[in-house]
């Protein structure tokens, strides 16, 4: 399904939204969450649209919840290396939780497992630690996961940026404080969002493309361009084609 919106959404009278002015068109793909078959289908659909000048931007959360994290990460690392500057991948809060678990499995492992880490471990055939267990078991789980991921994949995740920008359009994972410039944000705003992000429009004319918050029917609203349609739960993975004359949603 392809949905087109050329008309820019109206804003509060005292905060008119600037027209979209990306320096280059791009596809922003929402949270994949271990759904590699959906990602493969969506990429083929985008390729058939015949828009070779459009870049590919991923909004983060490649891992957890879905059953195919290992396949998603293999695809992401291979595509990133092959595409170079034609593809940009943002870090999501689930990549951050996984990396935190690698850094300190005893302190961070239980939380990660509660929020989708079990599926990631299963995709790499690493047994999870369940319940109150000795520290040594958490460390062993971490070591097995690190070996299964491999140094190259871990380095790729650690190197993911929190933002990507073209013209007056910025891509983040979760959101941003509308009262602060992008350069002045706390890291957590990009990864976990901000209470005012969906309640107040920005006053600096920036458009914000984001994932993280599931919406069944994404639409452009008050300078925000959502992309997360809850692939792991709904079976629908979405992309937004962002151009100077509007936004087109493509679903797979």
pLDDT digits (tens, 9 = 90+) for 161-217: 999 999 999 999 999 999 999 999 999 999 999 999 999 999 999 999 999 999 999
- Nearest partner of 200 among 184, 218, 216, 176, judged by Cα: 176
Q: Using an 8 Å Cβ cutoff, are 101 and 63 in contact?
A: no
What gap in Å lies between CA 62 and CA 182, rounded to an integer?
23
- Nearest partner of 202 among 228, 182, 218, judged by Cα: 182
Q: Using an 8 Å Cβ cutoff, are 219 and 240 in contact?
A: no
- Beta-strand ranges (E) seen in 151-217 are 164-166, 169-171, 207-210
Secondary structure letter of residue 133 according to DSSP: -
Which domains does the chain show, CATH number per domain? 2-92+161-251 (3.60.21.10)
Residues 6+ apart with CB under 8 A from 113: 121, 128, 129
Q: Using an 8 Å Cβ cutoff, are 240 and 209 in contact?
A: yes
3-state secondary structure of 56: strand
* Helix-strand-coil split of the chain, %, nearest 5: 40, 15, 45
Strand partners, 143: none
Give the count of alpha carbons within 13 A of 64, CB side only: 21
Taking the whole predicted model, whether its pTM rises above 0.75 is answered as yes
pLDDT digits (tens, 9 = 90+) for 94-145: 999 999 999 999 999 999 999 999 999 999 999 999 988 999 999 999 999 9
pLDDT digits (tens, 9 = 90+) for 54-81: 999 999 999 999 999 999 999 999 999 9
């Amino acid at each position: 399904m392809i949905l087109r919106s050329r008309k820019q959404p109206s804003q509060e009278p005292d905060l008119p939204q600037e027209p979209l002015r990306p320096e280059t068109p791009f596809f922003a793909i929402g949270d994949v969450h271990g759904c590699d078959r959906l990602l493969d289908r969506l990429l083929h659909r985008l390729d058939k649209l015949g828009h070779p000048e459009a870049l590919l931007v991923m909004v983060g959360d490649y891992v957890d919840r879905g059953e195919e994290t290992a396949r998603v990460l293999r695809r992401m690392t291979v595509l990133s290396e092959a595409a170079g500057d034609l593809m940009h991948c943002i870090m999501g809060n689930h990549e951050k939780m996984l990396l935190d678990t690698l850094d300190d499995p005893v302190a961070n492992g239980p939380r990660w497992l509660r929020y989708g880490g079990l599926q990631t471990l299963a995709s790499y055939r690493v047994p999870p630690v369940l319940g109150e267990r000795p520290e040594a078991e958490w460390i062993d789980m971490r070591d097995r996961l690190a070996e299964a991921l491999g140094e190259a994949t871990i380095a790729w995740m650690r190197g993911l940026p929190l933002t990507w920008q073209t013209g007056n359009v910025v891509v983040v994972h979760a959101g941003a404080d509308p009262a602060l410039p992008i350069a002045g944000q706390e890291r957590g705003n990009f990864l976990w969002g901000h209470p005012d992000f969906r309640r107040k429009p920005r006053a600096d004319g920036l458009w914000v493309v984001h994932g993280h918050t599931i919406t069944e029917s994404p639409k452009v609203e008050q300078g925000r361009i959502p992309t997360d349609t809850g692939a792991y739960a709904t079976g629908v993975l979405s992309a937004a084609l962002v151009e100077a004359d509007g936004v087109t949603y493509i679903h797979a």
